Amino acid sequence: MSGKHEQAVSKADDKAGGQRGLNTLHQAVIISGMSGSGKSSALKAFEDIGYFCIDNLPVILLPELFTVLNHTTSSTDKVALVMDVREPTFLDQFSSIFKHLRLSGHPLELLFLDAKDDVILQRFSQTRRKHPIDSGVGITDAIKKERRHLRSLRELADRTLDTSDFNVHQLRRAIHQMYAPRERLDRLLIHLISFGFKYGIPADANIVLDVRFMPNPYFVPELSSLTGCEKEVQAYVLNNPDSERFLEHTEKLFDFLIPQYKKEGKSYLVIAVGCTGGRHRSVTIAEHFTSLLRGQGEDVIVTHRDKDREG
């Protein structure tokens, strides 16, 4: 970290330190990622759930922002900021400042938004906006260049959200689901996702459980049209010796892993549960573990990605 960066961060730490007994440290979600991935729409979604929102804050001012916020009385202690390559020095400065603030005790989370190249290209074509790092080489090359530049930032992120298949309303719902229930950003949030392997594995999954070995309600006429949210389907899937052994072993795995993730300081854990179509077995198991982990006092949200797909 440069001398100027160290001075900015140290000054913020000194000022905030005197206030820690009086005010709760503000929690911040920093939204970054690929241009055209929906960062502005995500910021509006954070505003909807009560976050104080700022767009395009220069990274050098991030420590000073905490200083100001922790010296004021406001209606919220949660902040969402978009910071990205529109600022020329962003990539050079962000990593060191972000890591130092986090080590100093500030509750920070980095949300990286991404999308497929062809989707980003289509979005820019529709809006007719200039790509922020297109210096005349053309938008296709600009997208590839930005993706290369952001590789290390993506690796630093606490969570990555692929918005390729989202419209504005779906992105808003995703942000609401992930952040509205959270009291503290520095507390582990477990996100269970049921999915169908025929539609692909969730890109942000940390753990993938394959439950295709379990009895399939799809082939039972009276259960086929139902989903794993219904008790009849759950009973069919779970009342089986192999299913019972799977649950027993997986519970022991979670008993070991979840404390390790907490010790590491991880704030977001994605457990993806997959079956063939994502309607019956995976939904049942995701519901089971959601109930189990909530009963153990964990913060858990659940998404059934493919439950309502046809065929």
Q: What's residue 9's pLDDT?
A: 46
- Per the structure, the complete domain to which residue 38 belongs is given by 3-186
Domain end position, chosen among 186, 221, 250? 186
- Say if residue 110 is in the same domain as residue 91: yes
Q: What's residue 311's pLDDT?
A: 60
Assess if residue 293 is contained within a domain: yes
Assess if residue 294 is contained within a domain: yes
Domain end position, chosen among 139, 169, 186? 186
Domain end position, chosen among 168, 186, 204? 186
Question: Edge-to-edge strands of the sheet including 78-82?
Answer: 52-55, 78-82, 27-33, 108-114, 159-162
- Say if residue 86 is in the same domain as residue 135: yes
For residue range 251-302, what is the model confidence (pLDDT) as tens digits? Answer: 999 999 999 998 887 888 999 999 999 999 999 999 999 999 999 999 999 9
pTM: 0.69
Q: What's residue 25's pLDDT?
A: 57
Q: Which residues of the chain have pLDDT under 70?
A: 1-25, 72-76, 311
Short-list 95, 206, 82, 80, CA closest to 150? 95
- Say if residue 216 is in the same domain as residue 142: no
Q: What's residue 102's pLDDT?
A: 84
Assess if residue 231 is contained within a domain: yes
Q: What share of the chain is helix, strand, coil (3-state, %, to 5)?
A: 45, 15, 35
- Say if residue 243 is in the same domain as residue 197: yes
- Say if residue 235 is in the same domain as residue 96: no
Q: What is the DSSP letter of 278?
A: S
- Say if residue 67 is in the same domain as residue 167: yes
- Say if residue 209 is in the same domain as residue 145: no
Number of domains comprising the chain: 2
- CB-based contacts of 198: which residues, under 8 Å, 6+ apart? 276, 277, 278
- Say if residue 167 is in the same domain as residue 180: yes
- Say if residue 204 is in the same domain as residue 134: no
Assess if residue 309 is contained within a domain: no
Assess if residue 139 is contained within a domain: yes
- Say if residue 35 is in the same domain as residue 132: yes
Compute the mean pLDDT over every residue in the chain, rounded to the nearest whole number.
Answer: 87
Q: What is the CATH number of the domain that holds 145?
A: 3.40.50.300
- Say if residue 182 is in the same domain as residue 195: no
